[in-house]
Structure 1
Amino acid sequence: MAEASPYTRKGWQSLSRPARQLILTRFLRAMAQGALAVDFTLYLKIRGWSASHVGLLLMAGGLFGAFLSLLVGIVSDRVGRRLFLLIYETGLIVGTALIIFYPTAWILVLTAALFGFGRGANGSSGPFAPAEQAWLAQSIPSARRGTVFSFNAGLQFWGMGIGSILAAILPHIMPGAHGPAAYLPLFIFNLVIAVINLAQILVIEEAPREPRMPRSEAQQQADSAVQKKENRALTWLTIVNMVNSLGVGLVAPLLPYWFNVKFGVGPSAIGPVYALTFFLTGIFSLVIGRMSERVGLIRSIVVPRVLGVALLIAIPFMPTFAIAAVLYVARSIVNRSSMGARQAFSVGLVRDKRRGFASSLNAMSWGLPAAIGPALGGQIISGGSLILPFILAAALQLGYVILFPTIMGRYDPTRAAAPGKAHGDTAASGRSS
């Protein structure tokens, strides 16, 4: 009998307690990041940062996160995942408090680089996200991961939407505050969320790691063969992801800055647009979760993104902010709503004992090109072109739409899964992954 969907009361209660707590923790974190996604680059602009300097800062955050995430994923497979989330939230508390009380340039650079401020990470725990994602995957039966990960993504988008609404409000709640001082409530809000999440993670129980048992030579050879198949799948996924990630990084992190330069709008106009985007994306993420059960993960990832490419290339040619915002909302919905399906696909390529590594490699393949993208996009915008970044981004994302089903179609765990068989665990039985 099929399990109830997680977005029903019965389905939610059927999830394990650690899974529910991890999902709620990420939802709260998404609220804080949603506010930062809109306001942080605008805050830097008020402090006198140019587009190229903002892009370089976002690049630094992406590069640091990409390299650290690889280490976190590998180590978390051996020592557990909870410790890394505790480190993340503690560091976030310290860094945000320093910005509030001592907002010098080096504090801003260090904290933003460590914790990805302004990158719109959809509630992920920055470079520690591989440990978090592997922990969540471990807490969910493999046959339910497509639906539950899409539900988790939907909640993240709704959290980002709430944060985007707050981004339009927070800079105006301190009477008489102007310039950088008006953004102080933004960082106070992030600090409060980090404290709440630290308290939540402290009470989440992590299942004990399975002891490593002695294995015969035949078992070692079989394990080596499966691992080679997993590595091959992960290598191809890394290559394909890097194409898409560079396309996303060229434009997405700098959009609030671009909207401000192109149309002269600020947080009051941009915040509600981002909020609407995230709320609608959350709804469509649930639709994609259902779709992945019927048509497979590959199709549910690729089909919406075809429309996304067309919408992306049209945005910079729009004459008004209103029209450009409508296209941005539509494009974000069709692109981002497949995030849960992409996460479920990546963790389904390997066995549980390697999911931290798989998640970290997936994060790095996204993080490295996405880190270079804002620096390149910022340089182009500073050079006077507000159109070229969109054209380059659309070309790269079109390449992803072609490459992903062509190369990764053979690894779709939902394509050939037999009824009642755990999708994500077939690697252990010799699936080509």
Structure 2
Amino acid sequence: MESQRRTVVYLQAARALRSVGQGVAIVDMALLLKALGWRAAAIGGVLSAAGVVGAALILFCGPLSDRVGRKPFLLAYELMTCAAALVVALSRNAALLSAAIVLTGLGRGQNGAAGPFTPVEQAWMAGSVPPNQRSRVFSANTAIGFFGVATGCLLAGLDRVWRGALPGALAFRPLFCGIACLSLACACMVWLAPGGGMQGRQAVAEGREASPSRRQGRSDSERTRFRRDPGRKAENRDIARLAFVNLLNGLGVGFVGPMISYWFATKFGATSGEIGGTLAATFVVTGFAALFSGYLADRVGMVRAVVWLRLAGVLLMCALPFMPSFALASVIYAVRSALSRGTQGARSALGASLTSEARRGFSLSMNSFFTRAASAVGPTISGWLLDEGSLALPFVVAGGLQLVSTALYGLFFRGYDVARRT
């Protein structure tokens, strides 16, 4: 039990450090590319490509981690991010920049999560937390990420301090070097975390050992009954339902999230410091909302808490592009983020509870895959719309998609809250 608590502490420390670097990249990546002369469609295109590659990695990382362990994947991610940040800091070659962003998702804004290896991280943490504590622990983990991203967003405005000595795009170089250092520190935290090596393989082996079709002396009829295991069918049905819900939500997220800095700069002429301040306040509020959603989930149920909060967020998403000033738009954006993204912990806890340990990586990978694959489409379309001068349509489309996603989430999983109480 003590080693499990230490695992959670180290993973949360890694998330805190990682989220600071992601906060810097959320604000400054699009602004750096804009300073280099990239058009919005090109920026959105490379961020979309990052989503596609991330989704492809998710497909095999989670299931494979069920067999070989979690730690190697998270170490690889941190070292990849370190290398990508150095490329962004030191190179101005479009092909190298594109490769760095595409392979790691740098600048897409992942709230401290480990990119395409997020299912691995979540499965590792879920295995270290009792089921009845997951909603609270996952919500706290999400809050840590939001607070870290808020810190990074504030640091993102430091480019203006040395802009006299490092003009133009060069002003972003020290910040991306800092991201590289943070990634190395994250790798150290992951390395120090107990476990994460063979547990996945052991769980699968134990599951196979206990499987009726693996035991000697079983009849053909018994093996047939096992292949038609109603428990496995129910798990697959729930995985498919959550994947569809996340696909719709991912489409909505992709229309807004990765391009929000560009949108603020284009619509209101906001600077990196102003945008960074807005996003920092947004993530602080969202962090507290994540803690509140964990508390609310314990009181009324995970599914009800998610549905209530996200429905309110949808209304604000549709209202956001019609705000007449940067200040008012910032307030609406912060509250909307708190209501919608503050539920990430509760949603992750549900996803981690749909299957046994032996299939947890697979379950989380499937849902993350559909989220990331769908969100990869959004930046390209919204970037094209922004180039065409349509500053409101991406938000309206995103709101509609998230409305349908939230309604289906409540419909599909409303029985889960009842099952937890009984």
Q: What's the TM-score once normalised by structure 1's chain length?
A: 0.90
1:416 aligns with 2:405: no
1:353: which partner in 2?
358
Deviation of 1:141 after TM superposition, in Å, equals 1.1
Q: How does 1:209-228 map to 2 (within 5 A)?
A: 209=199, 210=202, 211-212=205-206, 213=209, 215-217=211-213, 218=222, 221-222=225-226, 224-228=229-233
**CA distance in structure 1 between the partners assigned to 2:232 and 2:189 by the alignment:** 35
Deviation of 1:294 after TM superposition, in Å, equals 1.2
1:343 aligned to which of 320, 344, 348: 348
2:150 aligned to which of 158, 161, 180: 161
**CA distance in structure 1 between the partners assigned to 2:251 and 2:34 by the alignment:** 24
Q: Is the 8 A contact 1:25 1:200 kept in 2?
A: yes
Deviation of 1:216 after TM superposition, in Å, equals 2.7
Q: How does 1:268-287 map to 2 (within 5 A)?
A: 268-287=273-292
Q: Is the 8 A contact 1:239 1:365 kept in 2?
A: yes
**CA distance in structure 1 between the partners assigned to 2:337 and 2:343 by the alignment:** 10
2:411 aligned to which of 406, 414, 417: 406
1:312: which partner in 2?
317
Deviation of 1:94 after TM superposition, in Å, equals 2.1
1:30: which partner in 2?
19
2:170: which partner in 1?
181
SS in 1 for 2:419: coil
Runs of 4+ in 1 over 6 A off after TM superposition: none
**CA distance in structure 2 between the partners assigned to 1:216 and 1:237 by the alignment:** 29
Give the RMSD, CA atoms, in angstroms: 1.8
1:135: which partner in 2?
124
Q: How does 1:187-202 map to 2 (within 5 A)?
A: 187-202=176-191
Q: How does 1:213-252 map to 2 (within 5 A)?
A: 213=209, 215-217=211-213, 218=222, 221-222=225-226, 224-252=229-257
Residue identity in the other structure for 1:299: R
Deviation of 1:418 after TM superposition, in Å, equals 5.0
**CA distance in structure 2 between the partners assigned to 1:297 and 1:221 by the alignment:** 33
SS in 2 for 1:229: helix
Count of aligned pairs: 406
Deviation of 1:202 after TM superposition, in Å, equals 1.7
**CA distance in structure 2 between the partners assigned to 1:386 and 1:328 by the alignment:** 15
Q: Is the 8 A contact 1:238 1:361 kept in 2?
A: yes
Q: Is the 8 A contact 2:4 2:194 kept in 1?
A: no
Q: Is the 8 A contact 2:89 2:172 kept in 1?
A: no
Deviation of 1:99 after TM superposition, in Å, equals 2.7
Q: Is the 8 A contact 2:27 2:275 kept in 1?
A: yes
Q: Is the 8 A contact 2:7 2:195 kept in 1?
A: yes
Q: Is the 8 A contact 2:58 2:116 kept in 1?
A: yes
1:104 aligns with 2:109: no
**CA distance in structure 1 between the partners assigned to 2:9 and 2:234 by the alignment:** 32
Q: What's the TM-score once normalised by structure 2's chain length?
A: 0.92
Residue identity in the other structure for 1:184: R
1:361-413 deviations in Å (ceiling 9; x for gaps): 11111101100011111111111111111111111111122211112223x2x
**CA distance in structure 1 between the partners assigned to 2:343 and 2:263 by the alignment:** 25
Residue identity in the other structure for 1:54: I
Identity percentage of aligned residues:
37
Residue identity in the other structure for 2:29: F
Residue identity in the other structure for 2:384: Q
1:384: which partner in 2?
389
Structure 1 range deviating more: 220-229 or 235-244:
220-229
1:426: which partner in 2?
none
Deviation of 1:142 after TM superposition, in Å, equals 1.1
**CA distance in structure 1 between the partners assigned to 2:101 and 2:145 by the alignment:** 20
Residue identity in the other structure for 1:370: S
Deviation of 1:54 after TM superposition, in Å, equals 0.8
Q: Is the 8 A contact 1:171 1:186 kept in 2?
A: no
**CA distance in structure 2 between the partners assigned to 1:99 and 1:276 by the alignment:** 26
Residue identity in the other structure for 2:340: N
Q: Is the 8 A contact 1:51 1:381 kept in 2?
A: yes
